[in-house]
Amino acid sequence: MLNLNEVVIDRIQTAKRIRDLMEENSLSVNDLMQMLYLGRRDSVYKWLRGEQLPSLDQLYALSQIFHTGIEDILVWEEIADD
């Protein structure tokens, strides 16, 4: 059973997943910016570099755009017990 105290979102792998989903759906950074009503591309670029994660609202919108669940966008990393 998954212990939520022992997992974190892997930002780098989540960034790769978003990039892959964009490619699979033939979407550019500009496309996402417009679809999500973002004023600037910086947010999307930060997601793609793993510097920042989309907000919950943005993750929901991305799941609709990519025709997948939020759980299929986020990549989890288990933290090893010391």
Helix (H) or strand (E) holding 78: strand 76-78
The structure's pTM equals: 0.86
Position 80 scores a pLDDT of 65
Distance CA 22, CA 31 (A): 9
Position 54 scores a pLDDT of 96
Helix intervals (H) in the chain: 11-24, 29-35, 42-49, 56-66
Distance CA 44, CA 71 (A): 19
Position 5 scores a pLDDT of 63
